[in-house]
Amino acid sequence: MNRIKELRKEKGLTQQDLAEEIYVHYRTIQRWENEHIIALDQAQLLADH
């Protein structure tokens, strides 16, 4: 399991929940969890969350 997915599940969030909290589309979360490259600005949003 990828670390983003692992942390999201530890917080009890769905992909949709996380997407809404950091203002991205849920498909973006899906791409991140499937090992696609994360843009630096998006990585910062995720890290700040």
Per-residue pLDDT tens digits of the chain, which is 49 residues long: 589 999 999 999 999 999 999 999 999 999 999 987 888 888 888 888 8
Supply the pTM of this predicted model: 0.79
Q: What is the pLDDT of residue 37?
A: 83
Question: Which residues span the domain enclosing 15?
Answer: 3-48
Cβ neighbourhood burial of 17 (10 Å; 0-12, 13-18, 19+): middle
Which amino acid, residue 41?
D
Cα–Cα separations (whole angstroms), residue 15 to 35, 46: 15, 12
**Residue 36: per-residue pLDDT:** 78
Total structural domains in the chain? 1
